[in-house]
Chain A
Amino acid sequence: MEATASMSRPRNFLGLPGSARGTGSEMKMNRRKASVPDPTTSRLPRLLTLVLVVGMLAFGVFYYQDQHVDAGPSMVGRATLAAEAAVKRSPSNITARLALADAYRLDKRLDDSLNQYAEILKADKTNRFALLGRGSVLVTKGDLTAAEVTYKKVTGAQKKGEFAGADPQLEEAYYYLGMIAVKQGKATEAITSLSAALKIDSADSDAYYQMGLAETKAGSTQLAVNAFQEALKFVPTDWCEPYDQLAVAYAKLNQRPSAAYNAGMASFCHKKPADAKRQLKALITGPVKVDAYLALALIAETESNNPAAISWYKQLLTVDRKNVAATIALKRLDVGPTGSPTTQGSS
């Protein structure tokens, strides 16, 4: 106890002035002189700490209020609120219901959206906007069986219509039926639906891609290659899957240079330009050299390396003198008759 009492004393000196006890008057005076703080200097750190903390809090509050702006609802949220108000005003208005269902779908409120489509379909069983919307939501939710039933209602009702051959909604329904069939592994059904979709819109790159997948599942590798290549005609860059599929398909067909070219393009698409350049440079003396030169020039352009792009295009013209893509590209890159750029580029 004795030790404890004496050991606790210095703490008292730090925090509670005038608590020296039992140490003798001289020692008490000395310790007072040494350790008992002047009340002003003792309070100063606390005061400064307080000012600092209060200052920081005040700054934080002021900063937040000055910087913060309530963003309010997003554009989609605003559309949803407006559509909800419209439906409340006129609950039996199908157009308003459709707008609300679409707004919910955009807002990713899938169940609310389905409920609205269901309300519309109670009143109008063949409303194709509602059927297509419902199908889209069901695909997003992964309920492919229900989606298939929904899309078949669209094709069943419209396939003999006057404008069936040019009906974008019918095309959409056939496309989704094909895509669902691909996912379900039903190759023949997929090919039938996708063929119907492509008959209506022969520029639907997604339908070509799905057709390639369906043909692959059906074991028709060459037809799959044709379909993937058609898809890439419309979207040649920033779409990796067709290149991935083509690399595999050509390998199956034992067409190694084409497989290597598509593997190179896939590398480029997957943001691996160094790999892509290495793979493509290995092909500039083989049977796919034209494609390889074009691809190398494209990569150089993407890297803002116009001198390299110009060089690749020129090399391409040495093996394919009338290559239109290279000629147009050189013109675009402002290469004059002497072959040097006529204006300053960004690189």
Chain B
Amino acid sequence: MTIFDTTPEAVPDIATPLGHGDADFAGETPPKKGKRNAKIAALVIALLILALLFAWYLMNRKPLSELPGLSQTKLPHYEFSIYGAIKPLGVATTASGDRIYVTESDGPRLVHVYDAKGNQTGTLTPPKSTGPSHIPFYVAINPITQDVYVSDRMSAAIYIYDAQGKFLRTFAPKGDLGGKWNPLGLAFAPDGTLYATDVRGLDAKSHRVLVFSPEGTLVRSIGAPGQLNYPNGIVVDAGGNIEVADSNNGRLMIFGQYGKMLATIGAGIGEGDLGLPRGTAVDDSGRLFVVDTADHMVRIYTIDKDKPTPTYVGSFGDEGQTDGTFEYPNGIATDTRAHIYVTDRENNRVQVWGY
């Protein structure tokens, strides 16, 4: 009796009579050695793949579902919520997602700062001279200085804080704005150019997008009189185009870098059509996110540099109070780790979704 399976099939080389083929072994690579080499090669390849995976992950810190080559048309899933801000409106995050800024439109009306796990680490408080009527609305981070810009439409101001939350100054635009302004949506281009939507006056004919150089000089105004009606969220995509939520016209307008209108995503009841767009964001995978406040969801499109109109991918969210549902969402931001941050205004939380 033996504990081994000694059938020739199980151990093929024992079927060869001893001594047979020994001469061959002396002069050539023996089969076992060949197998061993193949095994070593396979293991080395597996280790290389593992090392590449490690390297890719350490460089990107993204979920594996975001590995290059995988589909970009998938939809994100709910991860967790951040609580603390009352009626949150705007949200911005650092590229790594380690600092998240959330504006609140009720209660003390501060800007809350959270870490990547949703723990509050501080607040941004405007100067006392602002008075009681202020409402922080949208927030953006200057990619050059890391300063935090907070729009306050009621105070007709943009407040600037440093990354640690210390108030620095009120943004003082250089150049002729043509009278008063009421900044709302904010976005930065990678070179520090600031884009701000301006909703001055009750008459939408004067609503526009203002572009400021990194030094704060007015460069140009975008939007013909009457074209934009309460433009809200604004974002600059990787190709330099500007996506603006033309909120009360129920559409998203896409302008070229110099203000030429390229395309719109219109209002309607069809797939990918919009109702009341507010916040907008793009991620580093070329996905465009638009918060549709009235439909309580976020619509996702992919930006194709060869096509002016983004392609609709799908949407996430629905009306409700459970995890993954929204009550009048407003602002949106993305980090480079495939997270999407959405302010869920009436549920007093910021929802974090991920791929």
A-B contacts, CB under 8 A, total: 140
- B51 proximity list for chain A (CB < 8 A): 55
Residue in contact with B36 in the complex, picked from A27, A41, A67, CB distance below 8 Å: A41
B133 on interface, CB distance cutoff 8 Å = no
Select which of B26, B36, B61, B312 is within 8 A of A33 by beta carbon.
B26
Bound: A259/B47 CA distance, A: 67
Given contacts A7-B6, A34-B30, contact A78 B79 (CB under 8 A): no
Please determine whether B263 and A69 come into contact, CB atoms closer than 8 angstroms.
no
* Residues of B in contact, count (CB < 8 Å): 56
Q: Contacts A10-B13, A301-B270, A304-B270; is A69 near B118 (CB within 8 Å)?
A: yes
| B57 close to A (CB within 8 Å) | yes
A163 at interface, CB cutoff 8 A? no
Q: Does A31 contact B (CB under 8 A)?
A: yes
Q: Of B50, B268, B321, which one neighbours A75 at CB under 8 angstroms?
A: B321
Chain A interface residue count, CB cutoff 8 Å, equals 53
Q: How far is the CA of A30 from the CA of B25 in the complex (A)?
A: 8
The residue from B1, B11, B39 contacting A7, defined by CB atoms under 8 A apart: B11
Contact A52 B46 (CB under 8 A): yes
| B43 contacts A49, C-beta separation under 8 Å | yes
Instruction: Give Cα A64 to B321, complex, Å.
Output: 28
A14 to B10, CA, bound (A): 14
Residues of A within 8 Å of B214, CB to CB, are none
Specify the main secondary structure of chain B where it touches its partner: mixed
Which one of A174-182, A249-257, A338-346 is at the interface?
Answer: A338-346
Q: Are B18 and A6 in contact (CB under 8 A)?
A: yes
- Complex contact A31–B40 (CB within 8 A): no
Complex alpha-carbon distance, A70 and B83, angstroms: 13
A48 within 8 A of B: yes
Interface mask (B38-56 → A, CB under 8 Å = 1, otherwise 0): 0110011011001101100
Q: Are B50 and A56 in contact (CB under 8 A)?
A: yes
- CB <8 Å contact, B46 and A69: no
Scan residues 272-308 of chain A and give those whose CB is less than 8 A from a CB of chain B: 298, 301-306
Contact with A along B72-113 (1 / 0, CB 8 A): 000000011101000000000000000000000000000000
B215 close to A (CB within 8 Å): no
Question: Which chain A positions have C-beta within 8 A of B80?
Answer: 69-72
- Please tell me if B144 contacts chain A, counting CB pairs below 8 Å: no
Is A76 interfacial (CB-CB < 8 Å)? yes
A66 interfacial by beta-carbon distance below 8 Å: yes
Chain A residues with Cβ under 8 A from B170's Cβ?
A: none
Residues 45-89 of A contacting B (Cβ, < 8 Å) = 45, 48-49, 51-52, 55-56, 59, 63, 66-67, 69-72, 74-76, 78
Report chain B residues within 8 Å CB of A318.
none
* A7-B6, A74-B322 known; A35+B32 contact, CB < 8 A: yes
With A27-B19, A37-B36, A301-B268 as given contacts, are A4 and B83 in contact (CB-CB < 8 Å)?
Answer: no
Q: How distant is the Cα of A109 from the Cα of B162 in the complex, in angstroms?
A: 46
Note all chain B residues with C-beta closer than 8 A to A139: none
Cβ 8 A contact of B117, one of A6, A63, A69: A69
Residues of A contacting B248 with CB < 8 Å? none
Q: Shortest beta-carbon distance, A180 to chain B, in Å?
A: 26
In A106-136, the 8 Å CB interface with B consists of 106
Hey, which chain B residues are within 8 Å of A346, CB to CB? 264-266, 268, 270, 272-273, 309, 312
Whether B30 pairs with A23 at a CB distance below 8 angstroms is no
B271 pairs with A33, CB closer than 8 A: no
Collect the chain A residues with CB atoms within 8 Å of residue B50's CB. Answer: 52, 55-56, 59
User: Of B14, B36, B40, B266, which contacts A345 at CB under 8 A?
Assistant: B266
Which A1-54 residues have a C-beta within 8 angstroms of B?
4, 6-11, 14, 23, 27, 30-31, 33-35, 37, 41-42, 44-45, 48-49, 51-52
User: Which residues in chain B, 110-134, are within 8 Å of chain A measured between CB atoms?
Assistant: 116-118
Q: How far, in angstroms, from A33 to B64 measured CA to CA in the complex?
A: 46
| CB pair B270 A63 closer than 8 Å | no
In order of increasing CB-CB distance, the 4 nearest A-B pairs are A304-B270, A34-B25, A48-B43, A71-B80
27 contacts across the A-B interface (CB closer than 8 A): A7-B4, A9-B14, A10-B14, A11-B4, A23-B18, A30-B19, A35-B32, A37-B32, A44-B40, A48-B43, A49-B43, A55-B51, A56-B50, A59-B53, A66-B61, A67-B63, A69-B117, A71-B81, A75-B81, A75-B83, A76-B322, A106-B321, A303-B271, A304-B268, A306-B268, A346-B266, A346-B268
Measured CB to CB, the residues of A under 8 A from B are: 4, 6-11, 14, 23, 27, 30-31, 33-35, 37, 41-42, 44-45, 48-49, 51-52, 55-56, 59, 63, 66-67, 69-72, 74-76, 78, 106, 237, 298, 301-306, 332, 343-347
Query: Known contacts A27-B19, A34-B30, A345-B264; can you find 17 more A-B pairs with CB under 8 A?
Result: A4-B1, A4-B2, A6-B18, A23-B18, A27-B22, A33-B25, A45-B40, A51-B47, A52-B43, A52-B50, A55-B47, A63-B57, A66-B57, A69-B79, A69-B352, A304-B268, A346-B265
